[in-house]
Amino acid sequence: MSITYKDAAGVQGMRTAGRLASEVLDHITPFIKPGITTKEIDQLAAQCMHKQGSVSATLGYQPNGYPPYPASLCTSVNHVVCHGIPNDKPLKKGDIVNVDVTVIKDGWYGDTSRMFIIGEASIAATRLVKLTYEAMWQGIMRVKPGVRLGDIGHAIQQFAESHGFSVVREFCGHGIGRTFHEEPQVLHYGKPGTLDELKPGMTFTIEPMINLGRRDVKEHGNDGWTIVTRDRSLSAQWEHTVLVTETGYEVMTLSAGSPPPPTFVHG
């Protein structure tokens, strides 16, 4: 399938789905404290989606070669890079966890994730979480017609590596709309002036996975989903779904609880 361009109705559908995904994160935020399990977070999110009249895009999701994903969201703790499956292990002070929510509303998909610091974390972990948020925004702020995907990837990579971190290569952002993962692929590294040109109506995610150590990842083991850093160093990720507008971008996955953009972002 090729890149899809959203008309006014599509944009409205994406706005609603995006806001709802973000509101699921708002809903679970006060509960994310030492002692809660990621399975409990999953149950809170499932209840919230039910109330919204939205449906989890991840529950039962089964791309080629994968087992069906068993939960309503992903919870990736510490050295887990992405696709962590909620379990019965309580979170403890000092953990960092990514919670990634994708909902479907009226056939449209909204995909967003945030990092949570449990209690207080090490200086290194706290810095990784903050700078990964800034790396995502380094990508978002460049989105406008005429810019190329390689420009976006380059900005993120440049920023992350200039702070001594590494960028995961095996997973990327993606076009999104009436399907979860569509064209184009949105790499979080790259060369300026390369790859697809952004055009109004495109919607895609920017979701950099940034490691404190080396960039290499591996499958964790037997669940078919969990991805970890090969060197077991910490990994962080943030995700927004964005629309290319006539003049720039609009973030689709915002809600009352969204953290503000970094101060280097204007307009």
CA distance 52 to 32: 20
The C-alpha angle 89, 90, 94, rounded to 5 degrees, equals 120
Tell me whether residue 9 or residue 112 sits nearer to ligand MF3 (CB atom): 112
List the one residue from 27, 69, 76, 133 that touches ligand MF3 (CB under 6 A).
69
CA distance 165 to 242: 24
> Cβ 101 to ligand MF3, closest distance in Å?
7
Backbone phi, then psi, for 62, in 5-degree steps?
A: -145, 80
> Cβ 220 to ligand MF3, closest distance in Å?
13
Other C-beta atoms closer than 10 Å to the C-beta of 65 total 6
Q: Rule CB under 6 A: is residue 83 a binding residue for ligand MF3?
A: yes
> Cβ 234 to ligand MF3, closest distance in Å?
19
240 and 112 in contact (C-beta within 8 Å)?
A: yes
Tell me whether residue 110 or residue 201 sits nearer to ligand MF3 (CB atom): 110
Tell me whether residue 37 or residue 126 sits nearer to ligand MF3 (CB atom): 37
Tell me whether residue 107 or residue 119 sits nearer to Co ion (CB atom): 107
Q: Rule CB under 5 A: is residue 182 a binding residue for Co ion?
A: no
240 and 22 in contact (C-beta within 8 Å)?
A: no
> Cβ 208 to Co ion, closest distance in Å?
11
List the one residue from 95, 111, 134, 182 that touches Co ion (CB under 5 A).
111
> Cβ 162 to Co ion, closest distance in Å?
25
171 and 81 in contact (C-beta within 8 Å)?
A: yes
- Greatest distance between any 2 Cα atoms in the chain: 48
Q: What is the CA radius of gyration of the chain?
A: 17
List the one residue from 23, 42, 95, 207 that touches ligand MF3 (CB under 6 A).
207
List the one residue from 23, 42, 95, 100 that touches Co ion (CB under 5 A).
100
Region near Co ion per CB under 5 A, out of 79-87, 132-140, 198-206, 257-265:
198-206
Tell me whether residue 36 or residue 59 sits nearer to ligand MF3 (CB atom): 59
Angle between helices 149-162 and 123-140 (to 10 degrees): 160
CA distance 134 to 149: 18
List the one residue from 44, 48, 74, 80 that touches ligand MF3 (CB under 6 A).
74
Tell me whether residue 221 or residue 267 sits nearer to ligand MF3 (CB atom): 221
Amino acid (one-letter) located at 263: T
Reported as half-sphere exposure (CB side, CA atoms, 13 A), residue 35 has a value of 3
Q: Six-digit token pair at 242?
A: 């964005």
Q: Rule CB under 5 A: is residue 205 a binding residue for Co ion?
A: yes
In the complex, which residues of this chain contact ligand MF3 (CB under 6 A)? 58, 61, 69, 74, 83, 100, 102, 111, 205, 207, 225, 239
